[in-house]
Amino acid sequence: MFKQDFKYYKSRKPAPSFENVLNLKHPTNHKVTPVIPKNTLNHFFGLKPIEQWNVYEVGDRPGLLLINNPFTSLGQCYWVTRCLKDYSKKPNKTNLDSHNIIPGNVDWWDYSQNNIHSGVLQKLRWATLGYHHNWDTKVYAEDMKDSTLSGHTDHSEQNLEAPLISLSFGQTALFLIGGSTIDVKPTAIFLHSGDVVIMSKAARLAYHGVPRIIQNNDLSWNVLLEDCNNNFENIEQDNLRICCEKTLWRPFEQYLKYSRININVRQVLCQGELMLN
């Protein structure tokens, strides 16, 4: 069932119907239950006040929590700049390391901006902070505009009890999540810029994937002047300046016009463990 639905939503001719896709902006036609979140330190992470969050459980997917964009526009901008400018830097590992495309003393973002016609901007597929998982074991489409992520489960960590948290920025993903085998029919969900997925309990080891990226014209990451005047705590001044000055933000904005950024946060070790076995 998972493979059939993945193929259906990936198809270009004929184009699929999105009638049965859960949209967190208007979740009226699906079996979702609103969840009241506990208080959090939202001022540290560029998040909206907690009372403005829309959090949902999906009835037939136990352990799956969905949050409809809890970020301010400045918060989205901040995490986008961190991903592109900072998290792609050495010593963090990327898929480009083995190709020797970029000189050893130069960072990917700086090199791509100074060598626009090299094509290297489109070649970054992943970067890893901390424990390195070999992301090349997953199957990705080469064209970023048609980027897909094949169905898989996340089971590489020693700790499979802690939830997996996934943040989306940029273009909209059509996300599928099923069950413990590919025989379970998946739920289709639109993940817009800023949306958060939390996979816990049974959902932690469920098959999931992204068969399609869809053009997003919302531009919810563009920062308003009042956002810059209401800066969230602990933001680095150079990142704040990038977000609030149009000329500095423009390269990041251009990148988002054809790309989706996905941040996955996972706990590798179990409580009390200090290193991998």
Q: What pLDDT digit, counting tens, does each position of 103-153 carry? A: 888 899 999 999 988 889 999 999 998 775 555 554 444 445 566 788 788
| Burial degree of 275 (CB within 10 A; 0-12, 13-18, 19+) | exposed
- CATH number, span 2-71+129-219: 2.60.120
> Residue 142's pLDDT is what?
42
- pTM comes to 0.89
Render pLDDT for 59-98 as a digit per residue (tens, 0 to 9). Answer: 889 999 999 999 999 999 999 999 999 999 999 999 998 8
Known binder of ligand: residue 152? Answer: yes
> Residue 143's pLDDT is what?
43
The token pair at 10 is: 């990936």
> Residue 132's pLDDT is what?
59
> Residue 139's pLDDT is what?
44
Alpha-carbon distance 260 to 168, whole Å? 7
* Contact between residue 74 and residue 227 where contact means Cβ atoms under 8 Å apart: yes
Residue spans of the domains in the chain: they are 2-71+129-219
> Residue 43's pLDDT is what?
66
CB atoms within 10 A of CB 271: 8
* Contact between residue 89 and residue 127 where contact means Cβ atoms under 8 Å apart: no
| DSSP per-residue codes, the chain | -HHHHHHHHH-SSSPPP-TT-EETTSGGGS-EEEE-PPP--GGGTTBPPGGG-EEEEETTSTTEEEEE--B-HHHHHHHHHIIIIITTSTTSEETTGGGT-S-TTS-HHHHHHH-GGGSGGGT---EE-SSPP-GGGS-B-SSGGG--EEEE----SS--SSPEEEEEEESEEEEEE--SSTTSPPEEEEE-TT-EEEE-GGGGG--EEEEEEE-----TTSPPHHHHHTPPTT--HHHHHHHH-HHHHHHHHHHHTS-EEEEEE---SPTT--S--
Confidence category of residue 5, pLDDT binned at 50, 70, 90:
very high
* Contact between residue 262 and residue 167 where contact means Cβ atoms under 8 Å apart: yes
How many Cα neighbours within 13 Å face the side chain of 163? 14
How large is the C-alpha radius of gyration of the chain?
19
Alpha-carbon distance 74 to 231, whole Å? 8
Bridging pattern class, strands 260-265 and 127-128: unpaired
Render pLDDT for 172-187 as a digit per residue (tens, 0 to 9). Answer: 999 999 999 999 999 9
Greater confidence (219 vs 182) lies with: 182
Confidence category of residue 277, pLDDT binned at 50, 70, 90:
low
* Contact between residue 231 and residue 223 where contact means Cβ atoms under 8 Å apart: no
% of the chain exceeding 70 in pLDDT: 84
The token pair at 72 is: 């301010």
- What distances in angstroms separate CA 248 from CA 218, 251, 254, one per listed residue? 21, 7, 11
Q: Which residue type sits at 72? A: T
Phi, psi of 256 (to 5 degrees): -70, -20
